[in-house]
């Protein structure tokens, strides 16, 4: 089971919207609605942002939105803020080894 594919980096200016993709296969992202997204600031543990493709845990900003089309899931961050500068990871249930993470995306706020 290879890691899900994410862009290495994405950048945007404050106030803009950016989208991070997470591409897998029919064995994981495309086959199940069990995609989650995490934010990890340097030196900290990851934080759950989105689960089951589109759901936000309580306390997570509405600026974070999840979606999926075919074998690709996406995380959109709207109204980009300085504190959004961080690493982001997707994860999915997979029929092959049960769970898998994405390769990670570094978001830079210009």
Partner 1 sequence: EMQVVESGGGLVKRGGSLRLFCSGSGFIFSSYAMNWVRQAPGKGLEWVSSISGNGIYISYADSVKGRFTISRDNAKNSLYLHMNSLRAEDTSIYYCVREGKGLAAFDIWGQGTMVTVSS
Could you list the residues that contact partner 1 (CB under 8 A)? 1, 3, 32, 34-36, 38, 40, 45-48, 51-52, 55, 57, 87, 89, 91-94, 97-104
**Residue 103 near residue 2, CB atoms below 8 Å:** no
CB nearer partner 1, residue 18 or residue 24: 24
H or E, element range at 21: strand 18-23
- Backbone phi and psi for residue 22, each to the nearest 5 degrees, phi listed first: -145, 105
Of 13 and 45, nearer to partner 1 (C-beta) is 45
Q: How far is the CB of 89 from partner 1 (least distance, A)?
A: 5
Tell the residue number behind the tokens 């862009």, with chain if given: 7
CB of 55 or CB of 108, closer to partner 1? 55
- Least spacing, CB of residue 83 vs partner 1, in Å: 19
Q: Which of 84, 106, 101, 97 is nearest to 35 (CA)?
A: 101
Considering the complex, state which of residue 80 and residue 105 has its C-beta at the smaller distance from partner 1: 105
Return the C-alpha torsion angle 58, 25, 19, 41, nearest 10. Answer: 60
Question: Least distance in Å: CB of 35 to partner 1?
Answer: 8
Tell me which residue has tokens 């064995």: 27
């Amino acid at each position: 089971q290879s890691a899900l594919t994410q862009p290495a980096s994405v950048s945007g200016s404050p106030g803009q919207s950016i989208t991070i993709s997470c591409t897998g296969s029919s064995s994981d992202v495309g086959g199940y609605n069990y995609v989650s997204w995490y934010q990890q600031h340097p030196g900290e543990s990851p934080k759950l942002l989105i689960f089951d493709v589109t759901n936000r845990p309580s306390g997570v900003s509405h600026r974070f939105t999840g979606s999926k089309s075919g074998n690709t899931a996406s995380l959109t961050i709207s109204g980009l803020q300085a504190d959004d500068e961080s690493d982001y990871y997707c994860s999915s249930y997979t029929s092959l080894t049960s769970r898998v993470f994405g390769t990670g995306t570094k978001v830079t706020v210009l």
